[in-house]
Amino acid sequence: MTRRLNGALALAVLVLAAVVVSAAFAASSATPGVTSKTITIGGTFPLTGPAALYGVIPKAEAAYFAYVNASGGVNHRQIVFKYYDDGYNPANTVPLTKKLVEQDHVFAVYGSLGTAPTLATRDYLNKAGVPQVLVATGDSYWGAQYKKYPWTIGFQPDYPGESRIYGQFIHNKVPQAKIGVLMQDDAYGQNYYNGLVAGLGADKSKIVDVEKYDATATDVTQQVVKLKAAGANVFALFALPTQTITALVVATKIGWQPTTFINNVSSSPLFMGLAQKSGANVQGDISATYVNDVWNNPNTATAKLYKSIIAKYDSGADPLDANVLYGVASAWTAVQALKAAGANPTRQSFMTALTNMNEVNPFLYPGIKMVTTPTERFPIDQQILEQYKGTAWQPFGHIFSKAR
Amino acid sequence: MKLTKPSLFGVAVAVVVAVAIALLPLTMSDYHDSTGADVAVFFIAILALNIVTGYTGQISIGHGAFMAVGGYTTAILTHNHGWNDLATLPLAALVGFAFGVLVGLPALRFHGVYLALTTFAVALAVPQVAKNYPKFTGGTEGLALPTHSGVWLYRTTWIVAGIVFVLAWLLLRGRTGRAFRSVRDSEIAASSSGVTLSLYKTLAFGVSAAFAGVAGSLYVLVNNFVNPDVFGLTLSLYILIGAVVGGLGSLWGVLVGAAFVQLLPIGLTTTHISSSQSVPVIFGAVVIAVMALLPLGAANLLGTFLHFGSQMGQSSDVPLGTEGR
Amino acid sequence: MATASLTQRGTAFRPTTSWIVPALIAVGCVFLVIGSLRSSLFAQQTISGLANGGIYASLAVALVLIYRATEVINFAQGALATFTTYVAWQLIDWGLTYWLAFVCTLGIAFVGGFLVQLVAIRPVERRGNQLTVVIASIGLLILVEGLVGWIWGNEIKFMPAPFPSHIYRVGGVSFSRQDIATIAISIASVVLLRLLFQFTKLGLAMRASAVRPDAARLVGIRVSWMLSLGWGLAAVLGAVAGMMAAASPSVLLQPSMMDGILIYAFAAAVLGGLESAAGAVIGALAIGVTLNLLGAYVSWVTPQLLLPAAFVLMLVVLLVKPSGLFGRTRVRRV
């Protein structure tokens, strides 16, 4: 009997201890995330799982922040960047975001990646008045729904705007087009498709076949075969990187050589190189870009700075990976806005800075300007077309404005 | 777990734990409250799995699918039809029950490995079906639901967990529980003693799926969001891990198991031991270690430690073999 | 101690009705041939489906081997295959030729699989039951996939192909030398396994260790070594599967590369009968072809429903033949 009593007492003590300990950690802070020496921001990214190839982005962002810190920081504050792995699962994103806000007391939630994860946390963050900024997804929601969600803002050009450019190009420059579309069978793919149709205008009827694939599918051979059989001579390839590379290789394998349009997310020089090595003929393929062309202009100040930052703070990164450059460009934007938020930044001043931008981001393509107003909340909405020649992308033509 | 006659000691401990659970939020931050709510969700889900795997010996690697069914019921009714989110819980349980019976009926033909892989198939198929009807389910972009404070979530989920536990206890203490356990221990003996196998096995699936459906609804409420990725294969695997780590057929086990699969990964993720890439490695290693050191689950350890007697930590002898097909 | 009740005294095997299944397969083949002759699009979809099926088959055979040798469903098989493929990539990156790296990887895989069984599975098996071993294999899956990302990073890497991209074009249908090689290797491994289990003492010892470990010990078989051997061999087959998969255009070298394939491999192994390697290969080819044809010709089978379709196929087969196409029905005596 005494033994049992002892056991029960032990249990009770353990439980009480847990209660006390957790009380000790219920910290509070006056200005969330800002101290005299530091400013803390955080985000959620897929570091494991099928979307893990985007895990290079937070590392690149961290590298840029480290560089800024080494040069004195932002308004004499060191940037503390915390990022957690949500595996692209909103059921992880939500608790991790809550942790960032309530335990890590971040000043802002920065750069979170993925449409669904961002949608999952949007209500919570806006209710709590926490900035949800420069989110890494090309959906139009962030710029379009700012009235309801004023604390949220995106970064990259949105997908429909991008594919509208392709549609316009085909309309103007490819007279006998017979278009075959491969798209992901969900909102992501639908975004691109809608933009393409909008850009084609009257030429919409030139779409001869639309094939879809599920994001979990590894093989898209069946769809590519059907597109070829439908007689398409233009291939609108709106897919994720994995399926894009597969589609390019399979197209060559079955002897199909259409004029191919690849979406920006999947056209990183890294992926093109992989496709080429695997046997795809990607000469002449067309995509759009908005980042600085460090690959063709390696001796510019920007390219040298970029390389030095990566070499020093993110040495494992592949220089061909455009996502790394994306991360640096995004981080630059965050730092600019933090600077503009003033010597004593508040969350409101940070959002004001982000919604009143007129900046030239050195890591973006020369000629592109980041402009936002309180009612025009797409930081980047310009892109330039590029064509793959040899082993690199060659931008051509003019910069398309209001690519939306 | 012998739930037939509650020892005074058992009740006392249960009361202590319940009180502790009720008091915790007073000192915790909102974030910890949400985490505690997640633990409650897994508590219900693991309890549900216990009914079908611990009690009737039918392996299920598919409980994420039952959670999905309940979760989407709640999401669709709340988001598309403006129901009050709590009011959807009973309906989610009902829909879960129906789906559980639907799965349980063909499952009668399978045993062991084949049953496990059938439930595995269901776990994979349900999110895909959800993706297929984006007009109702929101597809991959999902449905966003009203947010709630951490305290509200904590209280609601644990109250529901308490209700589910009591319901399970009432169900399992009587004839049904005995019938379930006889099915697990020897189908042939059970059948020859007059236990209608098909009825009880299907019933087990139905009840289990009903509880899992409720867990799914709460999961959706805690995250104020639903999309197919929320109910992926990982969820089913984690529920199974939690059930076995906790100890099949044990109450304390369910609590330990839920805490294990919910708190350990997120604890590791946010502690940055060397790098975030190490989290799955550490978690996987811990799971293997627990299986090697505590094959009958934490409940067995607790049982011997606290001298609950021979009843605690019942040998969870779940036949995975190929006999009896 | 209550033992894992995977086989009880008095288990016997009932002979199966042996002509139905081959007849069905023959009918299916005839259907495919006729369709291919009438439409080159059909032919292309069929051939591509076979190529996919070949990839699933190579992993399915590994699953069958481990099941036959250790009576364990190994959820980590795909992750182990991924790991060994990365090892091959690393060796090539360090300068070895493809084939030299291939052979070395097979050796490393064997040792690795053996050690994994020794270190991770044996301690679990000693005191646990079947379910705890399954959980351990799930833990292993999580661990190994995380380990790959930790060591090599998550970016997509390029894996050279064994056969330079040689495409054959026959009557409007394209297929590559790699496609043929993958299927051929799967068939070869089936033959080798059959030889091992039917005609060698070692194979007999392995089977005995899996099915009747106590009796096997009584006749002097080192059961635990047999189980480790089983894992080693399965790891070798998995390594082959991983490298064949990485060589195909549909699979890129990244930590999650075998996730989708593992699922179809499970469906194929179960469909074919978990104890029949030949069944697994036939099942895998059937799944590959069926899914391609469904996706191409049946419009209401949307891309999302392809994965469930594979399992519907598996379930339909199981409902008619609960032990799979070529599995043996066990009868339990009271």
Residue of A85, A253, A266, A325 to mutate for C, most C C-beta atoms under 10 A = A253
Residue C149 contacts A where some CB pair is shorter than 8 Å: yes
Residue A257 contacts C where some CB pair is shorter than 8 Å: no
Q: Which residues pair with A44 in a beta bridge?
A: A84
Whether C40 is covered by a domain: the verdict is yes
Q: Chain A: nearest CA to C77, how far in angstroms?
A: 17
Q: Chain B: nearest CA to A5, how far in angstroms?
A: 9
What domain count does chain C have?
Answer: 1
Amino acid letter, residue C266: F
Whether C273 is covered by a domain: the verdict is yes
Contact between A53 and C259 using a beta-carbon 8 Å cutoff: no
Distance, in Å, from the CA atom of C68 to the CA atom of C65, rounded to the nearest integer, reads 5
Chains that touch A (3 or more CB pairs under 8 A): B, C
User: Hunting for tokens 């962030």 — which residue is that?
Assistant: A142
3-state secondary structure of C13: strand
Do residues B44 and B160 make contact, with C-beta atoms less than 8 angstroms apart? yes
Q: Chain B: nearest CA to C295, how far in angstroms?
A: 14
Q: Chain A: nearest CA to C51, how far in angstroms?
A: 10
Contact between B280 and C149 using a beta-carbon 8 Å cutoff: yes
Half-sphere exposure of B251 (CA within 13 A, CB side): 20
Contact between B109 and C146 using a beta-carbon 8 Å cutoff: no
Contact between C135 and B240 using a beta-carbon 8 Å cutoff: yes
Distance, in Å, from the CA atom of A62 to the CA atom of A75, rounded to the nearest integer, reads 18
Contact between A85 and B142 using a beta-carbon 8 Å cutoff: no
- Express each pLDDT in C108-135 by its tens digit: 999 999 999 999 999 998 888 888 899 9
Question: Which strands make up the sheet holding A234-238, listed edge to edge?
Answer: A207-213, A179-184, A234-238, A259-262, A286-289, A383-389, A392-400
* Chain A residue with Cα closest to C261: A218
3-state secondary structure of C247: helix
Do residues A213 and A239 make contact, with C-beta atoms less than 8 angstroms apart? yes
Contact between A98 and B128 using a beta-carbon 8 Å cutoff: no
Restricting to B residues 42-81, those with a Cβ less than 8 Å away from any Cβ of C are: 53, 59
* Chain C residue with Cα closest to A186: C304
User: Hunting for tokens 């044990």 — which residue is that?
Assistant: B250
- B27 vs A22, A92, A127: nearest CB: A22
- C136 vs B120, B121, B288: nearest CB: B288
Q: Distance between alpha carbon A329 and the CA centroid of its chain, in Å? A: 11
Contact between B12 and A216 using a beta-carbon 8 Å cutoff: no
* Chain A residue with Cα closest to B9: A4
- B306 vs A7, A18, A20: nearest CB: A7
- A119 vs B146, B225, B232: nearest CB: B225
* Chain B residue with Cα closest to A24: B27
Restricting to B residues 288-317, those with a Cβ less than 8 Å away from any Cβ of A are: 305-307
Which residue range(s) make up the domain with C324? 11-332
Distance, in Å, from the CA atom of A240 to the CA atom of A242, rounded to the nearest integer, reads 6
DSSP per position, C161-229: -SS---EEEETTEEEEHHHHHHHHHHHHHHHHHHHHHHH-HHHHHHHHHHH-HHHHHHTT--HHHHHHH
Distance, in Å, from the CA atom of A172 to the CA atom of A149, rounded to the nearest integer, reads 38
3-state secondary structure of B67: helix
Q: Which residues of A touch C255 (CB under 8 A)?
A: 48, 52
Closest to B157 (Cα-Cα) out of B77, B76, B208, B221: B221
What is the end-to-end Cα distance of chain C in Å, rounded? Answer: 21
Sorted by where each starts, the structural domains of chain A and their CATH numbers stand as: 38-157+297-380 (3.40.50.2300), 160-289 (3.40.50.2300)
- B325 vs C2, C147, C330: nearest CB: C330
pLDDT in tens, chain B (325 residues): 444 455 677 777 778 888 888 887 777 777 888 899 999 999 999 999 999 888 888 889 999 999 999 999 999 999 999 898 889 999 999 999 999 999 999 888 888 888 888 899 999 999 999 999 999 999 999 999 999 988 899 999 999 999 999 999 888 888 888 888 888 888 778 888 877 888 888 999 999 999 999 999 999 999 999 999 999 999 999 999 999 998 887 767 898 999 999 999 888 877 765 567 788 899 999 999 999 988 888 777 666 655 443 333 344 444 444 333 2
Closest to C254 (Cα-Cα) out of C93, C112, C82, C101: C82
Q: Any idea what the CATH number is for the domain that residue C285 is in?
A: 1.10.3470
Q: Distance between alpha carbon A202 and the CA centroid of its chain, in Å? A: 32
Contact between A185 and C158 using a beta-carbon 8 Å cutoff: no
Dihedral sign for Cα A302, A305, A310, A313, please: negative
Distance, in Å, from the CA atom of C134 to the CA atom of B243, rounded to the nearest integer, reads 13
Q: Which residues of C touch B280 (CB under 8 A)?
A: 142-143, 145-147, 149
Half-sphere exposure of C251 (CA within 13 A, CB side): 29
Please report the number of interchain residue pairs, chain A to chain B, with beta-carbon separation below 8 angstroms: 140
pLDDT in tens, chain A (404 residues): 455 555 555 555 555 555 444 444 444 446 799 999 999 999 999 988 889 999 999 999 999 999 999 999 999 999 999 999 999 999 999 999 999 999 999 999 999 999 999 999 999 999 999 999 999 999 999 989 999 999 999 999 999 999 999 999 999 999 899 999 999 999 999 999 999 999 999 999 999 999 999 988 878 999 999 999 999 999 999 999 999 999 999 999 999 999 999 999 999 999 999 999 988 999 999 999 999 999 999 999 999 999 999 999 988 888 889 999 999 999 999 999 999 999 999 999 999 999 999 999 999 999 999 999 999 999 999 999 999 999 999 999 999 987 54
Answer left, alpha or beta for residue C65, where phi above 0 means left and psi between -120 and 50 means alpha. alpha
Residue A386 contacts C where some CB pair is shorter than 8 Å: no
Residue B315: predicted pLDDT: 41
Q: Which residues of B touch A88 (CB under 8 A)?
A: 229
Whether C2 is covered by a domain: the verdict is no
* Chain C residue with Cα closest to A52: C154
Residue of C3, C5, C140, C306 to mutate for B, most B C-beta atoms under 10 A = C5
Long-range residue pairs from C291-294, CB within 8 A, at least 24 positions apart, any chain = C291/C49, C291/C52, C292/A221, C292/A222, C292/C45, C292/C46, C292/C48, C292/C49, C292/C52, C293/C42, C293/C45, C293/C46, C293/C49
Q: Distance between alpha carbon B99 and the CA centroid of its chain, in Å? A: 16
Q: Chain B: nearest CA to C303, how far in angstroms?
A: 8
* Chain B residue with Cα closest to C304: B128
| 3-class SS letters over chain A | CHHHHHHHHHHHHHHHHHHHHHHHCCCCCCCCCECCCEEEEEEEECCCCCCHHHHHHHHHHHHHHHHHHHCCCECCEEEEEEEEECCCCHHHHHHHHHHHHHCCCCCEEECCECHHHHHHHHHHHHHHCCCEEEEECCCCHHHHCCCCCCCEEECCCCHHHHHHHHHHHHHHHCCCCCEEEEEECCHHHHHHHHHHHHHHHHHHHHEEEEEEECCCCCCCHHHHHHHHHCCCCEEEEECCHHHHHHHHHHHHHCCCCCEEEECHHHCCHHHHHHHHHCCCCCCCCEEEECECCCCCCCCCHHHHHHHHHHHHHCCCCCCCCHHHHHHHHHHHHHHHHHHHCCCCCCHHHHHHHHCCCEECCCCECCCCCEECECCECCCCCCEEEEEEECCEEEEEEEEECCCC
Distance, in Å, from the CA atom of C119 to the CA atom of A260, rounded to the nearest integer, reads 51
Closest to A152 (Cα-Cα) out of A142, A162, A161: A142
Whether C263 is covered by a domain: the verdict is yes
Sorted by where each starts, the structural domains of chain B and their CATH numbers stand as: 31-306 (1.10.3470)
Closest to B233 (Cα-Cα) out of B98, B318, B126: B126
Distance, in Å, from the CA atom of C101 to the CA atom of C96, rounded to the nearest integer, reads 6
> Cα angle at C161 between C285 and C182, to 5 degrees?
20
Q: Distance between alpha carbon A116 and the CA centroid of its chain, in Å? A: 13
* Chain C residue with Cα closest to B192: C334
Q: Which residues of B touch A90 (CB under 8 A)?
A: 142, 223, 225-227, 229-230
Q: Buried b vs exposed e over B243-273: b needs ≥16 C-beta within 10 Å?
A: bbbbbbbbbbbbbbbbbbbbebbbebbbeee
Residue of B32, B218, B225 to mutate for A, most A C-beta atoms under 10 A = B225
Whether C4 is covered by a domain: the verdict is no
Q: Which residues of B touch A7 (CB under 8 A)?
A: 305-307
Residue B320: predicted pLDDT: 44
- B292 vs C124, C129, C334: nearest CB: C124
Contact between A187 and B134 using a beta-carbon 8 Å cutoff: yes
3-state secondary structure of C329: strand
Distance, in Å, from the CA atom of C240 to the CA atom of C190, rounded to the nearest integer, reads 13
Contact between B284 and C323 using a beta-carbon 8 Å cutoff: no
Beta strands in chain C (DSSP E): 11-14, 167-170, 173-176, 329-332
Residue A3: predicted pLDDT: 53
- B128 vs C144, C304, C315: nearest CB: C304
* Chain C residue with Cα closest to A248: C249
Contact between A185 and C41 using a beta-carbon 8 Å cutoff: no
Distance, in Å, from the CA atom of A57 to the CA atom of A331, rounded to the nearest integer, reads 10
- A15 vs B20, B139, B225: nearest CB: B20
Do residues C210 and C68 make contact, with C-beta atoms less than 8 angstroms apart? yes
Contact between C154 and A52 using a beta-carbon 8 Å cutoff: yes
Whether C165 is covered by a domain: the verdict is yes
Do residues A182 and A220 make contact, with C-beta atoms less than 8 angstroms apart? yes
Distance, in Å, from the CA atom of A236 to the CA atom of A245, rounded to the nearest integer, reads 13
Do residues C186 and C54 make contact, with C-beta atoms less than 8 angstroms apart? yes
Q: Which residues pair with C330 in a beta bridge?
A: C13
Q: Which residues of C touch A249 (CB under 8 A)?
A: 249
Task: Name the token pair of A91.
Answer: 């059921």
Query: In angstroms, what CA-CA distances link C160 with A220, C240, C258, C331?
Result: 21, 14, 17, 49
Q: Which residues of B touch A101 (CB under 8 A)?
A: 31
Distance, in Å, from the CA atom of B285 to the CA atom of C150, rounded to the nearest integer, reads 14
Residue A332 phi, psi dihedral angles, 5° rounding: -55, -45
Do residues C274 and B113 make contact, with C-beta atoms less than 8 angstroms apart? yes
Alpha helices in B224-323 (DSSP H): 233-246, 251-271, 278-293, 298-306
Contact between A7 and B224 using a beta-carbon 8 Å cutoff: no
Residue C318 contacts B where some CB pair is shorter than 8 Å: yes
Residue C162 contacts A where some CB pair is shorter than 8 Å: no
Do residues A222 and C295 make contact, with C-beta atoms less than 8 angstroms apart? yes
Distance, in Å, from the CA atom of C115 to the CA atom of C84, rounded to the nearest integer, reads 14
Residue A16: predicted pLDDT: 52
Half-sphere exposure of B6 (CA within 13 A, CB side): 14
Whether C257 is covered by a domain: the verdict is yes
Residue B171: predicted pLDDT: 87
Q: Which residues of A touch B282 (CB under 8 A)?
A: none
Q: Which residues pair with A259 in a beta bridge?
A: A234
- Express each pLDDT in C25-81 by its tens digit: 899 999 999 998 888 889 999 999 999 999 999 999 999 999 988 888 899 999 999
Whether C245 is covered by a domain: the verdict is yes
